[in-house]
Amino acid sequence: MSLSLGQNNSYINQIENGRMVPSLQGLFYICDYLKITPHQFFEDDNPAPKMLEELIEELKKLDAKTLELITDLVKQLNKGKE
């Protein structure tokens, strides 16, 4: 990954181990490499940001009634997790 970002071999390792902090531009390059947004990068409570983004894009294509049905289904699925 480091080399793909145009950096030396240890670039990502140094970031992971807290020995360096990437520049803002470096963060954008890392996010581009991972195919995620900076918001998704920092979103701790979302284990699958790319999948959620894809789901939202598909949901946008549905009519209001179908969205209501899917919302009810998701609420039912989440009831047992609370």
Cβ of 4: how many Cβ atoms within 10 Å? 9
Q: Which domain holds residue 67?
A: 45-82
Gyration radius (Cα) of the chain, Å: 18
Q: Residues near 57 by Cβ (< 8 Å), separated by ≥ 6?
A: none
Q: Both 75 and 60 in a single domain? A: yes
Q: Both 6 and 37 in a single domain? A: yes
Q: CA 38, CA 43: separation in Å to the nearest integer?
A: 9
Q: CA 48, CA 10: separation in Å to the nearest integer?
A: 27
Q: Both 72 and 37 in a single domain? A: no
Q: Both 34 and 64 in a single domain? A: no
Say if CB 70 and CB 61 are below 8 A apart.
no
Domain count, the chain: 2
Q: Both 30 and 4 in a single domain? A: yes
pLDDT (tens digit per residue) in 50-60: 888 899 999 99
pLDDT (tens digit per residue) in 17-48: 999 999 999 999 999 999 888 988 888 888 88
